[in-house]
Chains A and B, each alone.
Chain A
Amino acid sequence: MSERTDRGDPTTADRMLPPESPAGAPFWAASRERRLLLPWCVPCGAAHWYPRGFCPVCLGDEIEWRPASGGGRVHAVSVQPKVPFPGVGGEPPYAVALVDLDEGVRMMLRVVADDAWSVAVDDAVSIGWEPLSDGRHLPVALPSDPPA
C-alpha cells in the first residue's frame, strides 16, 4: 500500500468539489443519482459539451437534457505520474483521457484502470461515478471488458 499523501484521495473529504455553474446544474443534479445527462439543442438535434446555457452551433437556448448511453471510446490519453495539485485526479499514476461519447460529444475524464499505462486510444469505455462529499458524483471512464 502506498503511504497516505496530500495528493487528494477520492474517498476522503479533501477531494476538490467541482464548482457548479448555472448551466451545468442539471448535469450535477442527475449525477446525484449516477445518471449521465447531456445537453441537447432541440432545433439542431445534437448534443454538445460542455453545458453553457445555449447551443454552440446555433446559439439558441432551447436546451433539453437527455440521458446518455454511457458508452464511449478513448480519443486521446495521457498518463499522469503526479497530481497537478491536491484533491484532484487519482492515485498516481493514473490516466486522463478525452473520451468520445456515443452521443458525439467529447469529455475529459479520468480512466479508472488497474494499469494506467495500458489505456490506449480507441479503447472502449463506459461511464462510472465517483462519489463526492456533497452527494454529487464525478464521472469517470471505466475500461470496457475486452471482446472475448
Chain B
Amino acid sequence: MSAHPLRAATAVVGVADAADPSGMLDGTVTELEARMIREALDDAGLTLADVDGLAINNGAGWAASLEAAERLGLAPRWTDSTQTGGSSFEIHVQHAAAAIALGLAEVVVVVYASTPRSSHKRGGGGFRSRALGGVTPALEWDLPHGLRLPMGAYALAASRHVHEFGTTPEQLASIAVQTREWAAMNPRARLRDPITVEDVLASPVEASPLHKLDCCLVTDGAGAVVLTSAERAADLAKPPVYVLGAGTCHTHASITSMPDLTTTGGVVSGREAFRIAGLGPGDVDVVELYDSFTITVLLALEDLGFCAKGEGGAFVADGPLRPGGALPANTNGGGLAYTHPGQYGIFLLVEAARQLRGEAGDRQVPGAEVAVAHGSGGVLSAMSTVVLGSEATR
C-alpha cells in the first residue's frame, strides 16, 4: 500500500509561544501576534518575505486573516480564518498541509494571541468583551436556563459519562494531578505546585461534577507555527517536524445538539489523521490533548483509541499520563496548569514539535518520534487531530 500523498509532504519548521507565571503578558494582541510570527520565523531560519500563506483566528474584527495580513504587511496567496474555537489551529495546519502539498502556498504562518487576563484586570471585560450579535440559538434556547458556559456544557457530558460508565470524580481529578506533575517542570507554567486527587475534589464545584481544578486556566498567551514543504524544510534551521496526518470533525455548536454526550468528533478526526499517517494509537510516543477540562482529555483518550469507550476512567487512574508514564500527555502542563488564553490549540502544536525536536528540556519524553496534537473547540464541538513525526518516521 502506498503512502497517502499528505503523509510527510509538509513539516512544521518554526515554533514560538509566550506565557508567564503571572498569567499576563506585556503587549496588545496584535503586538503579540507579530512577536510570535517573528520568533517562529527566526526559529525556522526564515523571514517574513518567505511567507505566502497566513492562517489566523483571534476572535476579533470581521475578517481575521485579512486584517492581520494588512498589519503584517503581507499579501498572502493562501489565507485561512477558520474559527472553531480552540481547535482552529489544528484545522489551520490540516488546511495548510494540503495547500502546501498542492503548491497553493509554500510557507504558511499560523498564529494566535489573546490577553483575557490582562483585559479583565483593566476592566475590559475579558472574554465577555466579545459582542454577541443577533439572535443565536444559544441565546434564545440555552442561556436563559442559566448553564454556566463553557464549564456547564462539559459538566453535562461528564455527568453522562459518570452515568453510563461509572466514571468517578476521582478518576477525572487524576488527570489534573498528572498534568500538574508536568507543569512543575515548566518554568513558565502558571501553576507548578503539586496537587492530589483530594485537592481537586476539595476545590469548589464549578458545575457538578467538575471542580475548579478540573477546569483550565484563564491567562494571556500567544503562539505561532510555521509550515513549509518537506523539500524546503530540509534546508532550514531546525529538524523538520513532519505532518504525518490530520483530520477534523465538528458535530454541534450547542451542547444541547451534541449527538452523543460521551462521543466526540475525535472518533472521526483521529481515524482520519491516523489513516493518512499510516499509524495507530499504539505508535504514539507523546500526546498533547486539549485539556479545557479533565473530561475533555478523558473523551479524547477514548475517541482517539488510546483506550476503549467507557474505559477512560480506569485508564487514567493508572497514571499513564504523568512523566515516565506509558502515554506522556500534556507535557507543558496543559491548559490546566501552563496557560489557557481561550483558544489553546496553538500550544499543543508548539509543544508537540518541541518534544519531537528533543528541545523540551526537563520535560523531554526520551526518544519521542511520533506525537499527536488534538484540538477541541467550542463545547466538545470541533475536534481536529494532527499526527506529527520526527525524521525517523518519514
B204 (CB) vs chain A CBs: closest residue: A81
Instruction: Report yes or no: B256 in contact with A50, Cβ–Cβ below 8 A.
Output: yes
Q: Could you say which of B147, B152, B157, B210 has the most chain A C-beta atoms within 10 Å of its C-beta?
A: B147
A14 CB to nearest chain B CB (Å): 13
Given contacts A108-B256, A121-B163, contact A52 B147 (CB under 8 A): no
- A8: chain B residues within 8 A (beta carbon): 146
Asked whether any CB of chain B lies closer than 8 Å to the CB of A21, the reply is yes
Given contacts A19-B135, A79-B205, contact A84 B140 (CB under 8 A): no
Partner of A76, one of B144, B148, B160, B257: B160
Interface size on A, as a range, is 35 or more
A96 (CB) vs chain B CBs: closest residue: B147
Given contacts A76-B156, A79-B208, A108-B256, contact A90 B146 (CB under 8 A): yes
CA separation between A78 and B151, bound complex, in Å? Answer: 10
CA separation between A77 and B254, bound complex, in Å? Answer: 15
Asked whether any CB of chain B lies closer than 8 Å to the CB of A66, the reply is no
- A72: chain B residues within 8 A (beta carbon): none
Partner of A78, one of B140, B204, B208, B256: B208
A35 CB to nearest chain B CB (Å): 17
Instruction: Report yes or no: A20 in contact with B135, Cβ–Cβ below 8 A.
Output: yes
Instruction: Report yes or no: A94 in contact with B156, Cβ–Cβ below 8 A.
Output: no
Asked whether any CB of chain A lies closer than 8 Å to the CB of B20, the reply is no
Q: Could you say which of B142, B158, B206 has the most chain A C-beta atoms within 10 Å of its C-beta?
A: B142
Q: Could you say which of A20, A78, A117 has the most chain B C-beta atoms within 10 Å of its C-beta?
A: A78
Partner of A107, one of B139, B148, B158, B256: B256
Instruction: Report yes or no: B147 in contact with A80, Cβ–Cβ below 8 A.
Output: yes
B162 (CB) vs chain A CBs: closest residue: A121
CA separation between A21 and B156, bound complex, in Å? Answer: 26
Q: Could you say which of A24, A94, A97, A108 has the most chain B C-beta atoms within 10 Å of its C-beta?
A: A108
Given contacts A79-B207, A84-B146, A110-B145, contact A98 B140 (CB under 8 A): no
Partner of B137, one of A50, A75, A109: A50
Asked whether any CB of chain A lies closer than 8 Å to the CB of B8, the reply is no
Which B84-113 residues sit within 8 Å CB-CB of chain A? none
User: Quick one: CB contact mask for B208-244 with A, threshold 8 Å, 1 for yes?
Assistant: 1110000000000000000000000000000000000
- A84: chain B residues within 8 A (beta carbon): 143, 146-149, 152
Given contacts A20-B135, A21-B135, A81-B206, contact A75 B144 (CB under 8 A): no
Asked whether any CB of chain A lies closer than 8 Å to the CB of B159, the reply is yes
Asked whether any CB of chain B lies closer than 8 Å to the CB of A32, the reply is no
Asked whether any CB of chain A lies closer than 8 Å to the CB of B62, the reply is no
Partner of B146, one of A75, A94, A117: A94
Instruction: Report yes or no: B160 in contact with A19, Cβ–Cβ below 8 A.
Output: no
Instruction: Report yes or no: A83 in contact with B146, Cβ–Cβ below 8 A.
Output: yes
CA separation between A107 and B149, bound complex, in Å? Answer: 16
B31 CB to nearest chain A CB (Å): 30
Q: Could you say which of B144, B146, B163, B209 has the most chain A C-beta atoms within 10 Å of its C-beta?
A: B146
Given contacts A20-B135, A76-B160, A121-B163, contact A88 B145 (CB under 8 A): yes
CA separation between A110 and B207, bound complex, in Å? Answer: 13
5 smallest CB-CB distances across A and B, nearest first, come from: A89-B146, A78-B155, A79-B208, A121-B163, A19-B135
- B: residues with CB less than 8 A from A are 135, 137, 139-149, 152, 155-160, 163, 204-210, 254-257, 261
Extra contacts besides A19-B140, A107-B256, A121-B159 (16): CB < 8 Å: A76-B261, A78-B152, A78-B156, A78-B207, A78-B208, A78-B210, A81-B204, A88-B143, A97-B156, A98-B261, A106-B257, A108-B141, A108-B255, A109-B145, A138-B145, A140-B145
